[in-house]
Structure 1
């Protein structure tokens, strides 16, 4: 059902809902699963074919088919065709920065209580995985203000979200720049319900997050290492305007189901990151005094190899030491980033949106090596 066919007493369909039901459409990304459980994500394009070393499938045979059909390729291999769930999509979509895994995105949305209509600040954007979960939660009547230092990351995130929702989500804005500098210019103080920080040094943003949040608002940070986790917790306590922080991680282990052989899988999604959350106190209210006694040596000479400072706390790591290499992030080459950004320029979704707005499409010829449509991506 399109908006034109919808009865007048029914509200318009939420953004992207039309692309989650009905027959497969041209330009839509779908997921093919082979008999061994290997998943391949393709973009349906008239006249194209999906090839493996064992035959090929014609895209035209899938366009117009219902969700959940099977199709047999030229070599007799049967594939199950389904629309990818959001969790499937974020694991197979083009990426520059590492994505927030679905298990962590679900925790963030739930534990931060991201509700329909909420006003959420997110930094940074990465490849857009968490952004899409936040947009799904706030809906058209909410707002997601995303901040990203790197323009190429922002372009990839916007392209991924556009391909998933079928259009640019009306509740989303991406600002290029540093959160500390740009947030006060972008939102009014005390109007934000939730702040989500996915960055190297979230403790540097506590003051602007505090100013932007409404009393009772939630701040949640996603960090990769225990040293970052400790630094965020101590900085939050030192600030004094937040509740006692809570930290956790989630580990997801699948199970093998085969007759009587029911057992845990040999592989699992273990540590991906830590989550730490806290809530903004009302203006003028100080955090209640902690009554829990710290472990012996938690802030003394036993806590670090170099000993304690004069105030009894461990020496702080210099701010300039917090780099992607230092916390184990893998660098992304500039060549790959340029290729990913270009891959979104001439997708069917981008062409359709440009045609609606009257904008021109960049038809610059590309090398065969830069083509991405129809390339299979395996997902374990």
Structure 2
């Protein structure tokens, strides 16, 4: 960060026309960060919005053009532009310049595998109880969709340790995580988690893999008491095996859910549910680590 002076023209420092700020240092810092966050800076990503079906995640690089079927956009024109304003393509089509959200980085991620959808990720985040400072182990990194979400919520002083047995998937995930600006909060591990978990005192173990039941004993040893185990599985057979393993390994409060989200087509006089929806993606199982619970308790239910 540049040193603050009482008469610092923050806009001109970043090549943005503006007047000198004559305010106390601390206020200048806060205001400058706010003002800069509202304008596009070279090197960051923006979301170019044409309509609900056509959006583009673009890195702003000076001297380059971004080509679309509606003409090209000079990326130089974006630098210093206020978020929420519009930019015109070479064919005169207007695009709105948006600051990307977490969901944009997830849905626009480079994919080598099927990603986990925001509807499932949101449920996992809330039910797992993670937050700033949490230490989380994840397995089945894939393209890093869930990894990005976990990192987003454990920062600034938490960490995600993500296990993946396929090196080529890790390469793709690393690119997606860096693009979202979350690499400092993630350690990618090319390792089979069914062999064991290196970390201890964890706040959550979250799995998206073919054989989660094989990880349950390792998860029990690695978790803090009362902390959360989560497994995402596409089939019932996987889910049943996982639940049985949880019961046998002193986990309680076991619950399996499926999350369905249906969009609504809103139009005056014609509002109705959308015809198409992403329905079944997987079953999500949650459980908490107990210290003295026994399987006998389940037979009394």
TM-score normalised per structure 2? 0.84
2:183 pairs with one of 168, 172, 194: 168
State how far apart, in whole Å, the 1-side matches of 2:66 and 2:223 are.
48
State how far apart, in whole Å, the 2-side matches of 1:92 and 1:117 are.
27
Superposition pairs for residues 85-234 of structure 1, below 5 Å? 85-165=101-181, 168-169=183-184, 171-183=185-197, 186-188=198-200, 191-234=201-244
Change (3 A) 1:182 1:290: closer
Unaligned runs of 5+ in 2: 6-23
What's 2:87 paired with?
71
Is the 2:144–2:173 Cα contact (8 Å) retained in structure 1?
A: yes
Is the 2:109–2:176 Cα contact (8 Å) retained in structure 1?
A: yes
Relative to total residues, which structure has the larger strand share, 1 or 2? 2
Q: Shift in Å at residue 203 of structure 1?
A: 0.3
What's 1:47 paired with?
63
Q: Shift in Å at residue 221 of structure 1?
A: 0.3
1:262 aligns with 2:271: yes
State how far apart, in whole Å, the 2-side matches of 1:277 and 1:132 are.
20
What's 2:294 paired with?
286
Q: Deviations over 1:99-144 (max 9, x none)?
A: 1111111111101111221111111211111111111211122221
Is the 1:35–1:78 Cα contact (8 Å) retained in structure 2?
A: no
What's 2:20 paired with?
none
Q: Deviations over 1:45-88 (max 9, x none)?
A: 22221223332211111122111111121222111111221112
State how far apart, in whole Å, the 2-side matches of 1:4 and 1:223 are.
51
1:261 aligns to what SS in structure 2? coil
Is the 2:252–2:293 Cα contact (8 Å) retained in structure 1?
A: no
Is the 1:30–1:84 Cα contact (8 Å) retained in structure 2?
A: yes
Q: Taking CA–CA contacts closer than 8 Å with sequence separation of 6 or more, which of the two structures ends up with the larger relative contact order?
A: 1
2:271 aligns to what SS in structure 1? strand
Q: Deviations over 1:221-271 (max 9, x none)?
A: 01111221122122222x241115200111111111222322211222211
Unaligned runs of 5+ in 1: 294-380
Supply the RMSD in Å over aligned alpha carbons.
2.7
Is the 1:145–1:173 Cα contact (8 Å) retained in structure 2?
A: yes
State how far apart, in whole Å, the 1-side matches of 2:287 and 2:191 are.
25
Aligned residues: 279
State how far apart, in whole Å, the 1-side matches of 2:53 and 2:208 are.
32
State how far apart, in whole Å, the 2-side matches of 1:21 and 1:128 are.
26
1:31 aligns with 2:41: no
TM-score normalised per structure 1? 0.67
Superposition pairs for residues 331-370 of structure 1, below 5 Å? none
Is the 1:116–1:139 Cα contact (8 Å) retained in structure 2?
A: yes
